[in-house]
Structure 1
């Protein structure tokens, strides 16, 4: 059996950078070495492990074994930076680099409250964030692949090596303008009208509207869809009558009361349970980030 203790930290970091950037050339530029050196470091690591760690395609794809080592490299770098930050005098902190924390977040959380949590943590630590926007049904996969350290997800089961904290539920109302409702649902909301009335969706991974249709009709329908991958434009499109869609309940209470917006099926709300998953690390930074995320999420969802 191969002795795989005392892995080369330089090779581990090289592997992680290559996976993150997708090519040996991009990794070489960041690491200030040649692409050949990047390739040789990873090959040496593969020889030591006795396993293939990368599929040499574009972009580079880690194998299952490669994902394990990418997570190890990222976790090690985080803990090293925290240790250095504790040892460096505050007066000398200007010369230390910031810790970078990659996180996967769904759009509604990102535009609603998540930045408040990041700002709170950044006010107390030398840290920057790389936020990846992804649907809540897909963020756990980013975590599983080692691309991020933490994620807001709809997945309650912990990704291996991760801890789960329940954040709460987002409630959505299916709404349209008064004019759109009159034009498309004068005969009621059912299979025939929902199959023809245009909807607005965030992108092709946004299943909220189609899930609502299935719950109401118990059928898989294919209405015409306008995709707008921006929370502001998505919201605006519904309010100017381009289609119907699901908006956070807290955002539409006043307009439903005034009649400017009409609920397709009164009282039929959709709920999305959200969870915060993060790597299990002895990291004070991750611990404080978790506290800030939980506080901001529960405060926002309660309003």
Structure 2
């Protein structure tokens, strides 16, 4: 009988390979076709300037962002499901996605996004961080995960109300359409400016979340047992909240609102692990990267009238039936 470690390594290696292959496929997906000779010339530093710009300035940052954003959403979902001990938990349960989206909507509403391309992602990150403050304030007196869920509902509801208000008071239909388009999520027309903005946020967030893997395992025994094992629940909560807010805030800042990745990926991969939270974190990050990269390829291949299908729309359409199927199949194993 094989030990659990090789199985876990095989799973991680397979997911990493899938994410890498899908990222490479993303580079080659689109109306502009590349031959092997043209790709070799571009990688050597030459080639046609137009083709070089398409490959390195448009498709490469999009492929990299697909890996980063998907990985952060998958990791955030696995961490929150482990900490809150709730299989329905995902980053939006703490309101992070809503307040980050509200920051971006403010940039669109007041025309700041047109004034400078980085205004939208910067305000989205700022919104996520500001949303962390009332969350900690509302939940500071209690260590129960239920208090965080209730505080997250309050923060998320406030962010959603702000978005609805901006749509209701939009100065013209074009502003409302721009806001709605961004809220549906997409990686189209992203540049390396967006990549370098999201990278530090996602790196810091992912580090904070992965650092607490063993503490999440201890929590499966109950809060009292975790304290006995030396887990500082208050410090753990601060680190997890900060990690989710910073990481998911950076992801939402460049991609818009993309749902179901953080919910579905841990459910799909949990049966392939020993079901402990720590064993699920890295596979969920890699699985999220692979899933979002595949979805981003699909939106470019599905024929539409004018623009490509929005990424958030596709993940929701795919996520609901997959989640319902997995919920029925695994209902006794939570």
TM-score (norm 2): 0.23
Bigger proportion of residues as helix = 2
Q: Which has the higher strand share?
A: 1
Larger radius of gyration: 1
